Amino acid sequence: MFEHSKTNSAAKNTATDRTSNHKRPEEMTAMQGSATGLKTSGLSMVNVLQMHRVIGNQAVQRMLSPTYRADKPVIQRNPDAVAAPSPALAATEEAPISVPVSAGPAPGPVVPVAPAAPAAQSLPGPAAPDAAGGIAAPAVAGPVAEGPAGAAPLGAAPAPPKARQERKDLNNYSNYNVVYKWLKARADTEKKNALFGFFDDLTAGQKMSAIKTMCNNERSPTIEKVKDTMLTGVFTKTVDWDRFSEISREAKAKNIKNYNADGSRDYASYTAIGTSATAGGVSGSATISSGLGAGGALSVANSVAPAAGVLSGLASVSQIYNASQNYDSSLSAVDKAQLAGTEASGGVADLTRFSAGTVNSVRTLGNMATSGAATIAAGTAGVVGGAAYLAGGVAGYIESGKNQKNLNKLENKFNTRAEADQHQRDLGLAAHLGGSTQGMNKNKSATTAAKGALMIAGGAVLLAAAASPVGPILLAAAAIIGGIGALIKFYKKSKRKETFVDKALNLDKEVAKPENAGLKKEQVRQKMLEAQGFNNVDQCYTQLVTDLASMLYEGGVVGQDEECQSVIESLGLKVDKAKRKPGKDLIAKKLHT
């Protein structure tokens, strides 16, 4: 483009030279007088040409600069500061410009010449994006434009704009301000000043967004609408501060998604497992007591057994369904085998065994002989299911133990640099949480293996001697051990939340500060939680898992952070960057479960 302009300019100059000899004498005299005037004004021809070159360069830059960008508008220059020329420059623009031009061996007449096109070597480089996302003009050496803002080189990049102070008060928004004052008064009354302080630190726009959400997105917020949505309680109405915390953090553009949130299938599974474990435990205990000589326990075992069988069957169906839903290509070979071979196959075997056991229990209640076919089916299912649980438990124990060791090593490595690097501290927290989970899974796998061994023995006894009470006793003991293992893991996970949150908050260091002298650990923790927008430990723990999973995904799956990838792989997952797997949800589940 620039070379094309240069060629056109040269052509115009040639044409001007050819017609210069046809100028009238009076025109020549006027032109010579203009040149003399410029000389007496103190401006040389070189200076005049330089001025025009600078002005031409800047005009080209303005024409070529994009008027907007996709993500944000270009920062516009102040037209007064750029357009106001100096008096001397204005005079040269108004006066015709004449330069002596040689037309041959002898000096020719002086003719007016249009300003030359800028030479390629004198053009500034391409404009580069500035820090604010606009296009900053490259600096051009040239005269200074004088204006009210002070002297600045013409064509120079504008000074970076000052950071705009975000407005935080709602004084100009009466409806929102009324709700804001009501919430503040409730926070004072209910001693939630620290949590309200997090909300109060939001910008005005973020506060308005939060208040609108609290009013079910009504166009005009009112105290009555907030009361309908945010007040809870039967006799004493209080603000739902858990909800207040979630809305405030979401307004601050926090990702508050709970990747470990239980769905309807989870609740159905918990209900089935809990009720079947209770009924099975009662029935199994009565069976064991009866086998040891307690005659009165036999009637209890026989009466509870049918209900236990039905509930256990529902639990098995839930187990099979969850195994199919939790299967993912990013899982390790051991995890896939546990889901398909242990959970699904074991669930099918359990369903068969419980169904056969229920048939025999019903026949016993009807004073009928035990069905031989049902006994054989129960024994066979016990052996098959027990083998699946035993194999899966042993493999899981080994795999979880290996993963736990790797994560512990990574945690120690990250912790050596955690004081000076927040990213290393976050990696250490992720490795610590993942290692804790792998330790729990290791213990759970041990109980699964024990459950499988007892089921194999019980099924074998049923096949060998149907009348012997040993088979049912062993099968009942297997169910009890499996239930105990699941309860222990659930309890440990629940208690770990508080411990992990304390570690993330560095609570011990905060408690030791002089200003917290005399306060209980729970009080200091609550104060720290509310200052960061959380109303309880569960909320903070959920946010930590979400943030850590997001960090690992962005660094180890989407990005090239090898340390994030090493943590993901130590959790028992395979990274596929092309497919961007595993996702945040699966990483979060492996951190927590």
| Secondary structure of 444-499 as H, E, C letters | HHHHHHHHHHHHHHHHHHHHHCCCCCHHHHHHHHHHHHHHHHHHHHHHHHHHHHHH
Same domain, 413 and 483: yes
Instruction: State both tokens at 219.
Output: 């166009």
- Whether residue 376 lies inside any domain: the answer is yes
Which of 189-193, 316-320, 556-560 bottoms out in mean pLDDT, i.e. has the lowest?
316-320
Question: CA-based angle 94:96:98, to the nearest 5?
Answer: 145
Using CA atoms, how far apart are residues 61 and 118, in angstroms rounded to an integer?
A: 12
Return the amino acid letter for 238: T
Please indicate, yes or no, whether residues 146 and 6 belong to a single structural domain of this protein.
yes
pTM summary value: 0.65
Residues 127 and 134: their CA atoms lie apart, in Å, by 10
Task: For residues 249 and 534, give the distance between their C-alpha atoms in angstroms, rounded to a whole number.
Answer: 8
Closest CA to 356 of 459, 439, 266, 448: 459
- 102/137 same-domain check: yes
b vs e for 213-251, b when ≥16 Cβ sit within 10 Å of the residue's Cβ? Answer: bbbeeeeebeeebbbeebeeeeeeeebbbeebbbbbbbb
Q: Measuring CA to CA, which residue among 454, 450, 401, 410 is closest to residue 429?
A: 410
Residues 138 and 207 grouped into a single domain: no
Q: Which of 203-207, 316-320, 408-412, 415-419 has the lowest mean pLDDT?
A: 316-320
Q: Based on the fold, state whether residues 210 and 304 are members of the same structural domain.
A: no
- Examine residue 557 and state whether it is found in any structural domain, yes or no: yes
CB atoms within 10 A of CB 65: 13
Q: How many CB atoms lie within 10 A of CB 373?
A: 11
Mean pLDDT of the chain: 74
The DSSP H or E segment spanning 102 is strand 98-102
Residue 523 lies in a domain: no
Averaged pLDDT, 66-73: 42
Q: Is residue 515 part of a domain?
A: no
**3-class DSSP assignment, residue 268:** helix
Give the pair of three-digit tokens for residue 535: 């109303």
Query: Residue 501 is encoded by which pair of tokens?
Result: 């949150």
CA dihedral 218, 219, 224, 228 (to 10 degrees): 0
Distance from C-alpha of 52 to C-alpha of 65, rounded to nearest angstrom: 20
What is the structure's pLDDT at 129?
A: 41
Q: What is the pLDDT of residue 140?
A: 36
Query: Do residue 441 and residue 555 come from a single domain?
Result: yes
Contact 259, 584 (CB under 8 A): yes
Asked whether residue 115 carries a pLDDT value surpassing 60, the answer given is no
Contacts (Cβ under 8 Å, ≥6 apart) of 398 = 334
Model confidence pLDDT, tens digit, residues 441-486: 999 999 999 989 998 998 898 888 766 667 777 877 787 787 788 7
Q: What is the SS3 assignment for 260?
A: coil
572, 555 contact by CB (below 8 A): no
CA distance 336 to 455: 23
**pLDDT for residue 169:** 87
Chain segment 490-543, per-residue pLDDT in tens: 888 888 999 999 999 999 999 999 999 999 999 999 999 999 999 999 999 999
Distance, CA of 31 to CA of 35 (rounded, Å)? 6
Identify which of 541, 592, 575, 533 has the alpha carbon closest to the alpha carbon of residue 244: 533
Do 269 and 344 reside in the same domain of the chain? yes
Is 131 a member of any domain?
A: yes
More confident residue, 586 or 334: 586
Please name the residues in contact with 272: beta carbons below 8 A apart, sequence gap of 6 or more. Answer: 311, 314, 315, 317, 318
Residue 350: exposure state from Cβ atoms within 10 A (0-12, 13-18, ≥19): buried
Distance CA 376, CA 214 (A): 62
φ, ψ of residue 112 to 5 degrees: the values are -70, 140
**What is the C-alpha to C-alpha distance for residues 197 and 80, in angstroms, rounded to an integer?**
44
Domain range enclosing 38: 2-153
> H-helix or E-strand containing 517?
none
Q: Is residue 85 classed as helix, strand or coil in its secondary structure?
A: coil
Which residue, 97, 124, 153, sits at the end of a domain?
153
What separation in angstroms does the CA of 579 have from each of 239, 438, 559, 564, 576?
A: 44, 26, 13, 17, 6
Number of domains in the chain: 3
pLDDT at 276 over 60: no
pLDDT at 253: 81
525, 494, 502, 503: which is closest to 592 by C-alpha?
494
Same-domain check for residues 425 and 561: yes
Yes or no: say if 218 and 175 are a contact pair by the CB < 8 Å rule.
Answer: no
Based on the fold, state whether residues 39 and 133 are members of the same structural domain.
yes
DSSP 380-437: HHHHHHHHHHHHHHHHHHHHHHHHHHHHHHHHHHHHTTTTT-HHHHHHHHHHHHHHHH
**Does 228 share its domain with 145?**
no
Backbone angles phi, psi at 169, to 5 degrees: -85, 160
Q: Are residues 323 and 204 in the same domain?
A: no
pLDDT greater at residue 177 or residue 333: 177
User: Residue 117 above 60 pLDDT?
Assistant: no
Sequence letter at residue 80: D
Residue 480 lies in a domain: yes
Answer whether residue 169 is part of any domain.
no
pLDDT confidence tier of residue 319, bands split at 50, 70 and 90: confident
Domain presence at residue 522: no
Residues 408 and 458 reside in one and the same domain: yes
Q: Residue 324 in contact with residue 347, Cβ under 8 Å?
A: no
Using the 3D structure, point to which of 206, 240, 274 is the last residue of a domain. Answer: 240
The answer to whether residue 225 scores a pLDDT higher than 90 is yes
d(C-alpha 232, C-alpha 214), whole Å: 13
